[in-house]
Chain A
């Protein structure tokens, strides 16, 4: 996670924090193998995407936004235990995120996707540790199966990415090492 200014991760299991003033929007930090949906306003955050992939889904008209941080391409690698942690995997997690968004009022035809991460984490290493590439391929496949249009892909490379998604606009701030930041 080559961020020059590492940010402390919240420790509370329930990481949605509604601040006391009406001017501050809720923020929710999403760890590996987790997803979350917010409606109307707020920020969804995930830190240090290396070989993992962060998928941001957004329905602009319903203002429903969701984010997931997947670690592995397919639930098949986890055997029977996979069912306890479906959000770890691209093939089961992205579908679960979409389902949760639909339950919160999103329209199946209006959801659009932005995909980040899937970096090659190490120099050399061989194909067996190229999990980032596999995660990106599995994400594309899952997104295609769910008929989600992809607006932005910032994947691969050798850098970690931290994401802040603004729920009201669906825009995502992508932070990379060296304080490089870009809204997409």
Chain B
């Protein structure tokens, strides 16, 4: 293993992990026969998430017009629904993406904004493709580029590659590893579900993913592309990736579907950003 790879992997170990409750939450909502009480029990193990959940349930957007405020997690879950709770947990967990990746030209909150667009895109694609693992899709969307947090400083010193090479290919040539692999190492360390790890690892090369995770990797691949197309902040690398033309065999869609998805992502982005920043 080269010294550069070793240094990058070492740095990857220092990326702030999301709360431990997140992986347990993702696992339980992926269970087809889970109950609300199962989710409530897991939420209750994390004080920050429990507090945020009750705060949201009692916010003007959800609160009852009369009566006492919600005091139990079970009540709050009943009001918000488990999808909203998973989003909340992911929002808390993905704050690390707000650190930015200036080496990639993503300043201020642009890495975070891209992550949110990708999560929304992945979730919408999962709905279209009738995939059950929607929470996992949203999660992998948020963390797809977490490797850029680590790679950013090294990329900042790199010359801008020509438009003929793929950016991940240049990363591999230059550093011996790309941001996707670094990201996969990070989310694996966080014990996120194997499908999420695979999606992060193969989001630029979905055809190389193991068969059992290939579908979600193609969701990640398309979500990443749609997020780039709907964002004013694609970074220096946004247009530097190849899209596998076979994605359409895994996710049957028309050109109208992809454009409609672009509109939906744009439409949902502002309200999602508001609710996650609250």
Contacts and interface: CB of A to CB of B under 8 A. Distances in A.
Instruction: Kindly list the 6 A-B residue pairs having the minimum CB-CB distance in the complex, ordered from nearest.
Output: A125-B243, A126-B245, A123-B242, A6-B105, A122-B243, A1-B234
Interface string B218-236: 0000000100111111111
Given A4-B160, A48-B232, A121-B229, A129 B105 contact: no
A82 B255 CA distance: 17
Given A2-B240, A121-B225, A124-B245, A129 B267 contact: no
B263 interface: yes
A31 B232 contact: yes
A82 B263 contact: yes
Nearest to B245: A126
Nearest to B104: A6
B225 A125 contact: yes
B238 A33 contact: no
B225 A128 contact: no
24 contacts: A3-B236, A6-B233, A6-B235, A8-B108, A31-B232, A51-B229, A71-B262, A72-B262, A77-B256, A77-B263, A81-B267, A85-B266, A88-B263, A121-B225, A121-B238, A122-B242, A123-B241, A123-B242, A126-B245, A128-B248, A128-B253, A130-B255, A134-B259, A158-B163
Given A128-B254, A159-B163, A2 B245 contact: no
Given A32-B230, A126-B248, A4 B243 contact: no
Given A33-B266, A72-B263, A128-B258, A2 B241 contact: no
Nearest to B108: A8
Interface of A: 1-4, 6, 8-9, 11, 31-33, 47-48, 50-52, 69, 71-73, 77-79, 81-82, 84-85, 88, 119, 121-131, 134, 158-160, 177-178
B107 interface: yes
B263 A178 contact: no
B129 to A, nearest CB: 14
Contacts of B225: 121-122, 125, 129
A69 B231 CA distance: 12
B208 interface: no
B244 interface: yes
B241 A122 contact: yes
Nearest to B109: A11
